[in-house]
A and B are shown apart, each in its own frame.
Chain A
Amino acid sequence: MAASYAETPVTNEFAQGRGYVLPEYPFVAPPEIASGEVSHHPIVIVGGGLTGLTMACALAGYGIRAVLLDEDNTVGAKGASSRGICYTQKSLEIFQRLGIYERIAAKGIQWSVGRTFAGKDEVYSFDLRQQSGYNLSSQPPFINIQQFYIEAYLVDRIRQLAHVELRWCNRVTAFEQNNECATLAVTTPAGDYRIRADYVIDATGAHSPFRKWVGASVTAKKGDDRWCIADVRFTHRPPTERHTWIEAPFNENRAVWQHLMGDDVWRIDYQMPPDADPEYVSREDVVRDRLARQFGADCQVEIVWVGPYAYRSECIDRMRHGRVFFMGDAAKVVSPFGARGGNTGVADADNLAWKLAAVMKGRAAPALLDSYHEERHEAARQNVLVTNRTARFLRPAPGIEKLFRDAALGLARQHVFARQLVNTGRMAVANSYTSSSACEPTGGQSVQNVSFQWSDGSRGTVNDLLQWADGRLLVLVFGESTPSALARLRALGETAALRSVQVVGTDDNPAAREHVRDPQGHLQGACHVFGHAWALVRPDSYVAATGESIDATLVHAIGKALGALEESE
Chain B
Amino acid sequence: MKTALHLQDADAFYEQLLDAHQGLSMEASELLNARLILLLANQVGDAQVLKECIEAARQTAPE
| A interface residues, Cβ below 8 angstroms from B | 118-119, 386, 389, 392-393, 396, 399-401, 404, 406, 408-411, 413-417, 419-421, 423, 426
Contact = CB atoms under 8 A, between A and B. Distances in A.
Interface of B: 2-7, 10-11, 14-15, 17-18, 21, 24, 26, 29, 56, 59-63
30 contacts: A118-B63, A389-B14, A389-B15, A393-B14, A399-B29, A400-B18, A400-B24, A400-B26, A401-B18, A404-B18, A406-B63, A408-B14, A409-B63, A410-B60, A410-B61, A410-B62, A411-B56, A414-B60, A415-B56, A415-B60, A416-B3, A416-B4, A416-B5, A417-B4, A417-B6, A417-B7, A420-B10, A423-B11, A423-B14, A426-B11
Contact of A420 (B7, B56, B61, B62): B7
Contacts of A386: 11
Contacts, number: 57
Contact of B10 (A399, A411, A421): A421
Contacts of A401: 18, 21
A389 B60 contact: no
A417 B5 CA distance: 4
The secondary-structure label for the interface of chain A is helix
Nearest to B30: A400
A392 B18 CA distance: 9
Contacts of B15: 389, 392
A426 B10 CA distance: 12
A423 B10 CA distance: 10
A313 to B, nearest CB: 14
Given A392-B18, A399-B29, A400-B26, A410 B63 contact: yes
A413 to B, nearest CB: 7
Contacts of A406: 62-63
A420 B14 CA distance: 10
Given A401-B21, A410-B60, A417-B7, 20 more contacts: A118-B63, A389-B11, A389-B14, A389-B15, A393-B14, A396-B18, A399-B29, A400-B18, A400-B26, A406-B63, A409-B63, A410-B63, A415-B56, A415-B60, A416-B3, A416-B5, A417-B3, A419-B5, A421-B14, A423-B14
Contacts of A389: 11, 14-15
Nearest to B3: A415
A426 B15 CA distance: 14
A448 B62 CA distance: 43
Contacts of B62: 406, 410
A411 B3 CA distance: 10
Considering the complex of A and B, which 7 residue pairs feature the smallest CB-CB distances, nearest first? A420-B10, A417-B5, A400-B29, A400-B21, A415-B3, A410-B60, A420-B5
B17 A404 contact: yes
Nearest to A390: B11
B37 to A, nearest CB: 12
Nearest to B32: A400
